[in-house]
Copies of this chain bind each other. A is one copy, B any other.
Amino acid sequence: MSIIKQKTDQAVGILKELDIDVWLTYVRKTSEIHDPALYFLLEDSWLTWQSALIISKDGQKIAICGRYDAQNLEKSGIYDRVVSYDESIKDPLLNVLNELNPQNIAINYSIDNIAADGLTHGLWIRLNKILEGTVFLERLISSEKLLAALRGRKTEAEIERIKKAVDISEEGHRKVTETAKLGVSEEDIEEVLLKFTKDKGLTVSYPPLIHVGPTTTIGHGKASPDIKIKKGDLINVDYGVFYEGYASDLQRMNYILGEEEDIPPTEVIRAFETVVNAITASAEVLKPGILGWEVDQVARKIVTDAGYKEFMHALGHQIGRNVHDGGCLLGPRWEKYGESPFYPVEEGQAFTLELHVYVENHGYCSIEEDVLVTKDGCEFLSKRQLELPLLKL
């Protein structure tokens, strides 16, 4: 069964659970603006004119689209009924709604859940005009809970793809360890990863981030051709791929031993262990029901208790169809994160666990693992980094 078939069936179950009568995804020109909900509603095809993809609590799947898109939707076999139009979507849409007579209609807007905020404001106004004078205008609600559940709760086929993406990232990270030589630049490492990815016939799930030594630019900066590996450097690489539409997101560390060093300096060891311990402690509390911020807090406290500066990002985000998959966030209760740290964790969600501390004169020490929430805990999708590879160059 195709993943789209699985996910649309899963959506029916979630509609029942949330007591939502109808889920309405209203889009146009999806090659220009792509509502992320379409990842679960369409095989790899585009919709050109205004289209409505409708799933009802009682299991009906109805698509309304322009004449030239109808054939593809029919062939996909996802929708029980495909209604096509030439001039205006208004009448066919109202006909379907009148027939279903939903008491509430979930549409894709959300203040905090980016993955559930695919409806543009212009289309929102259009939808309001279409529904003007009908009972349905007052029945619109946000699909954020529905989409958080649908996107968060991975099916087995989805988990397999993520796992495969994780495996390939790990292979890429091993390539980095093999590549690390004195004089190799951040940009060189980036090129190795991009070539590795291309050779696999895949794409990266985000531009790889390469941090070499203490002079690196931390964050989403570009890899530098001028910053080159030297003794005493911490090397951090953040690299993930898309495998059949599903993302991995992993960070790994290497350390270049200094002149006459057999082990790293104490401050490097302590930093590495603090990061590992914070991941361990947060994984131990990660299970269905706990709130996102509560997990984040466990890791954050270990870092600050150890005397390090707080990391200024969330401990973990979901992964799936995107590398930042929206919904429940294992993050602090900061304004910019809105409601997302207050969502409870659910079984089947895949999260990153990632944090860093900075080590003066050596560089950025950060690890990122990928985990899957199970019935009563979590399991690592990645092979954990528990040791710091010590490269004698």
B-binding residues in A (CB < 8 A):
28-29, 31-36, 45-46, 48-50, 66-72, 75, 86-90, 109-126, 206-207, 217-222, 312-313, 322-324, 326, 334-336
Which one of B86, B110, B217, B220 lies within 8 Å of A122 (CB-CB)?
B110
Which one of B35, B67, B70 lies within 8 Å of A312 (CB-CB)?
B67
> How many copies of this chain are found per oligomer?
2
A322–B29 CA distance with the chains assembled, in angstroms = 10
Pair B335/A90 contact, Cβ less than 8 Å? yes
Instruction: List chain B residues, Cβ under 8 A from A222.
Output: 71-72, 75
Q: In the complex where A29-B324, A72-B220, A324-B29 touch, is A109 in contact with B121 (Cβ < 8 A)?
A: yes
Pair B70/A115 contact, Cβ less than 8 Å? no
CB distance from A245 to the nearest CB of B (A): 13
Q: Supply 30 A–B pairs (Cβ within 8 Å), ascending by A.
A: A29-B324, A31-B322, A31-B323, A31-B324, A32-B36, A33-B35, A33-B36, A33-B117, A33-B118, A45-B207, A45-B220, A46-B220, A66-B336, A68-B313, A71-B219, A72-B220, A72-B222, A86-B312, A86-B334, A88-B334, A88-B336, A89-B336, A109-B125, A111-B122, A111-B125, A114-B122, A117-B121, A118-B120, A121-B121, A121-B123
A contacts with B: majority SS = loop
A287–B23 CA distance with the chains assembled, in angstroms = 45
Given A87-B336, A88-B336, A121-B123, 8 more pairs with CB closer than 8 A: A33-B114, A46-B220, A67-B312, A68-B220, A71-B219, A71-B220, A90-B335, A116-B122
Instruction: List chain B residues, Cβ under 8 A from A322.
Output: 31-32
Among residues of B, the one whose C-beta sits closest to the C-beta of A109 is: B121
A219–B72 CA distance with the chains assembled, in angstroms = 9
Instruction: List chain B residues, Cβ under 8 A from A125.
Output: 109, 111
A206–B34 CA distance with the chains assembled, in angstroms = 14
A142–B48 CA distance with the chains assembled, in angstroms = 23
Instruction: List chain B residues, Cβ under 8 A from A217.
Output: 71
Instruction: List chain B residues, Cβ under 8 A from A29.
Output: 114, 324
CB distance from A27 to the nearest CB of B (A): 10
A113–B34 CA distance with the chains assembled, in angstroms = 15
Among residues of B, the one whose C-beta sits closest to the C-beta of A86 is: B312
